[in-house]
């Protein structure tokens, strides 16, 4: 239990244009999931087609390549792709892959797709300064994230990390139910470096006019 912040990307299309224009978040989220599921299905089916034509000596290496591609389209591959032999070691922080036969790979498609819930590109746990930044823009705990937002947050983080005394002015914390600490301590500044890193990486997504991002707060 606690403040979980998710950031998603969605493409503007003729099908979701009205929902986006009206910030109809339920329909926007449905559109996002549909887009993500379609992209995942495309890669999965390509993997099936390719692996069926790979000889046994090369199968393990090719299998790993396709699992890697699929892993980029899901969160927590050890759960989403567990039927495909994906596991994770909490001791080493590394993933391992145990190839399954192509027959099983193909059989698992429907079950994995049924459990597919989309892919978030950003995540923060109890980083309440991010909530504070977007608070005035939220509707149903959801808001659009613009390129300007990303650039502004990166700029603010840079300033605070250079001069910690500016923290309460530029990236203030926020008291809330299970929101985590409001202290400006080493954990705050560690989180802030992660905030800067993630939002800096989001900027590239706005290279095209149809690229949009939204943020969702949950606790």
Residue 109, C-beta contacts closer than 8 angstroms, at least 6 positions apart? 44, 45, 48
Domain boundary among the residues 114, 146, 171 is at 114
Domain membership flag for residue 56: yes
The confidence score (pLDDT) of residue 118 equals: 80
Q: Kindly report, residue by residue over 128-165, the tens digit of the pLDDT.
A: 999 999 999 999 999 999 999 999 999 999 999 999 99
Same domain flag for 176 and 190? yes
Domain membership flag for residue 100: yes
Domain boundary among the residues 114, 135, 151 is at 114
Collapse the DSSP code of 184 into the 3-class scheme (helix H, G, I; strand E, B; otherwise coil) and give the result: coil
The confidence score (pLDDT) of residue 209 equals: 77
Low-confidence residues of the chain: pLDDT under 70: none
Domain membership flag for residue 140: yes
Same domain flag for 138 and 208? yes
Domain membership flag for residue 52: yes
Domain boundary among the residues 114, 134, 168 is at 114
The confidence score (pLDDT) of residue 69 equals: 96
Q: Any alpha helices (H) in the chain, and if so which ranges?
A: 17-21, 25-51, 56-71, 77-80, 102-107, 109-114, 128-134, 147-162, 167-170, 186-202
Same domain flag for 140 and 211? yes
The confidence score (pLDDT) of residue 185 equals: 97
The confidence score (pLDDT) of residue 117 equals: 81
The confidence score (pLDDT) of residue 88 equals: 94
Same domain flag for 81 and 159? no
Domain membership flag for residue 153: yes
Write phi, then psi, for 203 (nearest 5 degrees): -55, -40
Domain membership flag for residue 132: yes
**CA gap 182, 31 in Å, rounded:** 35
Same domain flag for 132 and 159? yes
**What number of other Cβ atoms are within 10 A of residue 212's Cβ?**
20
Same domain flag for 65 and 154? no
The confidence score (pLDDT) of residue 120 equals: 94
Same domain flag for 101 and 139? no
Domain that includes residue 75, residue range: 34-114
Domain membership flag for residue 148: yes
* Alpha carbon separation from 133 to 50, 63, 64, 124 (Å, rounded): 46, 43, 40, 13
Domain membership flag for residue 127: yes
Same domain flag for 109 and 130? no
Question: DSSP string of 72-105?
Answer: TTSS-HHHHTGGGTEEEETTTTEEEE----HHHH
- Would you state the structure tokens that stand for residue 134, as one six-digit string? 């977007």
Same domain flag for 144 and 198? yes
Same domain flag for 165 and 204? yes
**CA gap 205, 10 in Å, rounded:** 10
Same domain flag for 67 and 81? yes
Reported pTM: 0.89
The confidence score (pLDDT) of residue 83 equals: 95
Same domain flag for 16 and 62? no
The confidence score (pLDDT) of residue 208 equals: 78
Q: How many domains does the chain have?
A: 2
């Amino acid at each position: 239990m606690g403040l979980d912040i998710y950031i998603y990307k969605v493409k503007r299309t003729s099908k979701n244009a009205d929902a986006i224009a009206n910030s109809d978040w339920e329909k926007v989220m449905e559109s996002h999931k549909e887009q993500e599921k379609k992209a995942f299905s495309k890669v999965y089916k390509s993997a099936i087609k390719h692996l069926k034509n790979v000889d046994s000596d090369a199968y393990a290496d090719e299998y790993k390549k396709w699992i890697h591609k699929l892993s980029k389209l899901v969160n927590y591959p050890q759960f989403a792709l567990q039927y495909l032999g994906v596991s994770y070691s909490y001791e080493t922080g590394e993933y391992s892959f145990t190839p399954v036969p192509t027959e099983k790979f193909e059989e698992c498609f429907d079950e994995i797709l049924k459990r597919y819930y989309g892919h978030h590109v950003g995540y923060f746990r109890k980083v309440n300064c991010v909530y504070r930044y977007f608070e005035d823009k939220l509707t149903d705990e959801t808001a659009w994230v613009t390129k300007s937002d990303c650039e502004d947050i990166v700029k603010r983080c840079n300033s605070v990390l250079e001069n910690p005394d500016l923290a309460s002015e530029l990236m203030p914390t926020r008291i809330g139910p299970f929101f985590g600490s409001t202290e400006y301590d080493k954990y705050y500044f560690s989180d802030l470096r992660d905030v800067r890193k993630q939002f800096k990486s989001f900027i590239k997504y706005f290279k095209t006019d149809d690229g949009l991002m939204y943020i969702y707060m949950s606790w």
